[in-house]
Amino acid sequence: MNPLRDVAVIIVGLNARAFVEQSLASIERAEWRGRTYETIYVDNGSTDGSAEMARQRFPRAQVIANPTNVGFCPAANQGTRAAHSRHYFFLNDDTIVHDDAIALLVEYLDGRPEVGAVGSRLLNHDGSDQWSGRRFPSPLNFIFGRRSVLSRWLPNARPLARYLYRDQLQAGKPFAADWVSAAAVMARAEVFERIGGFAEDYYYWHEAIFCDRVRQAGYEVTLHPQSKITHFEGHGSGKRSYAARRWHIINFHRGAYRCYCERYRLGRLNPRRALAALALGTRAVLLLAANRAGDWFEKLRPARA
């Protein structure tokens, strides 16, 4: 068996050939500072030649091609089973690694045995922050969410700044976070396996559950602002149909409800479960109505022209 490498970079992709290519190329260009690594690309049934491209252009990468889309969490877990490394670094397919971003995280974990997982600082393509570390949401964050309308109107609102750890991130030093984005997160292999990997019964909110379980196992979760990754969030797919948006809205709120109940260990008879279901259900219905209304208005525009 090959000796353990320092880190396995695991990418899960689906019909994003151009993004996968630039992401894999950025890994090879990265500054590794003497650290050893392996790259594992798990393709989730792409029909655009992503897996074939990865094999031809990046022969050092291990390519696993699933015949169908099994979902992010099962595919990411699948990637770890093919890895031979001390740490796992999960990276979205629509990312670009900057400089020594991954090596920094390896060194950080190696120097702090109390930390089980550490996330990178995700940036938009224009260099602005995506706020990749967050607190567990409070009731205020139902309206002051990362992308909510009210947050766009009041971007400096204190509940939003607190939720997104803005002050800590802008200070530039590693800090403890409730949860970090799975678009660029490194975990100790032993911790990842101890908690059972990513929760395969989640679609949305799996990273919040993952980080909570890391903490329940006795480890800290941290975000490292100097580890920078460009993330082309939402640019990898075209406009979604209403049916697709409906599915995502419902699954987002269903995942939020399950995450809330697990995070606060709420039993089946706890009245907070009913309140959370009512609040999240109302929010989902309002979003569905707004999406449907938006489609109707868009259809009316050509008739008015």
Helix (H) or strand (E) holding 226: strand 220-231
Residue 236 lies in a domain: no
Residues 4-44: pLDDT tens digits?
999 999 999 999 999 999 999 999 999 999 999 999 999 99
Domain that holds residue 289: 242-300
**Do residues 131 and 267 share a domain?**
no
pLDDT band at 106 (very low <50, low <70, confident <90, very high): very high
- Of 111, 105, 140, 134, the C-alpha closest to 228 is 105
CA distances from 211 to 73, 136, 180, 276 (A): 14, 10, 7, 21
Q: pLDDT at residue 283 above 50?
A: yes
Mean pLDDT of the chain: 89
**Do residues 117 and 198 share a domain?**
yes
Alpha helices in 141-270 (DSSP H): 149-153, 158-163, 166-171, 189-194, 206-216, 242-263
- Of 247, 260, 246, the C-alpha closest to 142 is 260
**Do residues 170 and 22 share a domain?**
yes
pLDDT band at 146 (very low <50, low <70, confident <90, very high): low
End residue of a domain, out of 179, 208, 231: 231
Residue of higher predicted confidence among 284 and 100? 100
Residue of higher predicted confidence among 113 and 269? 113
**Do residues 205 and 58 share a domain?**
yes
**Do residues 164 and 271 share a domain?**
no
**Do residues 18 and 81 share a domain?**
yes
Q: pLDDT at residue 302 above 70?
A: no
For residues 4 and 26, the answer to whether their CB atoms sit within 8 Å is no
For residues 215 and 117, the answer to whether their CB atoms sit within 8 Å is no
How many structural domains does the chain have? 2
**Do residues 116 and 200 share a domain?**
yes
Residues 234-260: pLDDT tens digits?
665 445 677 888 888 888 888 888 878
**Do residues 155 and 45 share a domain?**
yes
The one-character DSSP state at 89 is E
Q: Which of 191-216 are b and which e, b meaning 16 or more Cβ less than 10 Å from the residue's Cβ? A: bbeebebbbbebbbbbbbbbbbbbbe
| Cα–Cα distance for residue pair 74/88, rounded to 1 Å | 15
Stated pTM of the model: 0.87
- Of 178, 184, 183, 181, the C-alpha closest to 214 is 178
Q: pLDDT at residue 201 above 80?
A: yes
Q: pLDDT at residue 118 above 50?
A: yes
**Do residues 31 and 59 share a domain?**
yes
End residue of a domain, out of 201, 231, 261: 231
pLDDT cut 90: percent of the chain above it: 65
Highest averaged pLDDT of the listed ranges 105-109, 130-134, 155-159, 267-271: 105-109
Residue 291 lies in a domain: yes
- Which CATH number characterizes residue 17's domain? 3.90.550.10
**Do residues 170 and 294 share a domain?**
no
For residues 53 and 25, the answer to whether their CB atoms sit within 8 Å is no
Residue of higher predicted confidence among 296 and 170? 170
Residues 52-87: pLDDT tens digits?
999 999 999 999 999 999 999 999 999 999 999 999
**Do residues 58 and 118 share a domain?**
yes
Residue 23 lies in a domain: yes
**Do residues 111 and 185 share a domain?**
yes
